Amino acid sequence: MFKEKIMPTTVLGAICLVVALLLSVVNMFTGPIIEKAQAEKANAALAVVLPGGTNFTELPVEGAGYPESVTAAYKADNGFVFRMEVTGYKPGLIIMCGINNDGTVAGADFIASNETLYAEVGLGAKFVGYTKDTINTDIIAGPTAKLTTGAYYSAIEAALNAFIIANGGTVDLRDPAQILQDNCNAALGTEGATFEKWFATARVDGVDALYISDKGAVAVIGESFVGIADGAVVGEAGETEKTAALAAYNAYKSEKLTEIAKPDGASDNVLKMFTAENGTVVIEMRAKGYGIMGDWHTSGEYINLKVAIDGEGKIISTLTTYQSESKNIGDIVASPDYYEQYNGKTEADYTDVAIVSGATYSTDGYRTAIKQAFEAFKLLKGGN
């Protein structure tokens, strides 16, 4: 009885051993064939964006110093292929880009996408022939799919930067915000100081912006950064630049705002109003962005902003102070590149700032808040 139970187990074990040996033998012969087929398939995919590419070798990405979006890199006889993962309308837009040995874009295409809003993401052919020095946003500009095309552009730019790095070159990969902070620190002779742009209530000729920190201030004049500490200019600067920088700094130091009651008839979206001694009016507003007016994934929160309008009825400064709009879409209202377009506008031309396709609720609500700010300003000044 005991033997009858143990024999099937012994036989089964022997069968398994034989099968394992047979599989091992089969794999010995078929493994290289499968691996070769897989390699050929991978090379064929890479050759789509790098035509004529042969002998592809994968390069290490970690520690290579490539842009953050680069997730894979390959070297071929005639160039490189880089794979980037970026965020367009949604995360997960994966783009492959081939770069010829002469630094020109050989081809590009997406291999994965979650772009449900704009399905047409096959933009790769438009980039062929461009280099790091000649690539520009005009080639992908259009009234629709701005988020997708912008992401595509950033991916190709990352590939061109990675190409330079892979060939032993150097590229400044800092974002504009970090470059600004570094330039301000350099002008003031400091390290690690954090600078915030002054929300100007006075117009100062010759100065583009004034940045403030606990270490001092920096005036931006064209491409020059002029440091100011203890009321004096730090470092070398021309007399004209010194005069303009100190005028801006003194305007900042002497600024005094007084809160006032908003006039009858002003919109409920006017939260607070202040006046400066020079006649400038600062108005804190709320705007009905996507979170309030939208009907999908709404946050239920307003956009907050403030506007400084001088005595002549022209906007000096605009600033978004809070927003909870959709990431990578409506949150464009938090970008200085967007809201500073209103600077210099009057009630007659503020609508020249375009409503952004894909962020219609957010930017239309912002524009409406600007309109209501001008209306409150007129009421305060006794206008109709």
Residues 133 and 121 in one domain: yes
The yes-or-no verdict on residue 294 having pLDDT over 50 is yes
Q: In this structure, are residues 337 and 367 in contact, taking their beta carbons and an 8 Å threshold?
A: no
Q: Which of 187-196, 268-277, 323-332, 362-371 has the lowest mean pLDDT?
A: 323-332
Residues 262 and 361 in one domain: yes
Residue 276 belongs to some domain of the structure: yes
Residues 133 and 158 in one domain: yes
Residue 14 belongs to some domain of the structure: no
Residue 49 belongs to some domain of the structure: no
Confidence at 6, pLDDT banded by 50, 70, 90: very low
pLDDT in tens, 185-216: 999 999 999 999 999 999 889 999 999 999 99
Single out the residue of 74, 87, 81, 137 nearest to residue 107, CA to CA: 81
Q: In this structure, are residues 69 and 154 in contact, taking their beta carbons and an 8 Å threshold?
A: yes
Single out the residue of 268, 319, 264 nearest to residue 292, CA to CA: 268
Residues 184 and 291 in one domain: no
The yes-or-no verdict on residue 28 having pLDDT over 60 is no
Q: Which domain holds residue 204?
A: 176-253
pLDDT in tens, 224-235: 999 999 999 998
pLDDT in tens, 166-177: 999 999 999 889
CA distance 165 to 237: 35
Residues 242 and 280 in one domain: no
Beta-bridge partners for 209: 220
Residues 76 and 187 in one domain: no
Domain holding 317: CATH number? Answer: 3.90.1010
Q: What is the pTM of this model?
A: 0.71
The yes-or-no verdict on residue 156 having pLDDT over 80 is yes
CA distance 272 to 258: 11
Confidence at 4, pLDDT banded by 50, 70, 90: very low
pLDDT at 13: 58
Residues 267 and 353 in one domain: yes
Residues 209 and 154 in one domain: no
Residue 171 belongs to some domain of the structure: no
The share of the chain scoring above pLDDT 90, in percent, equals 68
pLDDT in tens, 121-148: 568 888 999 999 999 877 776 545 667 7
Q: In this structure, are residues 105 and 98 in contact, taking their beta carbons and an 8 Å threshold?
A: yes
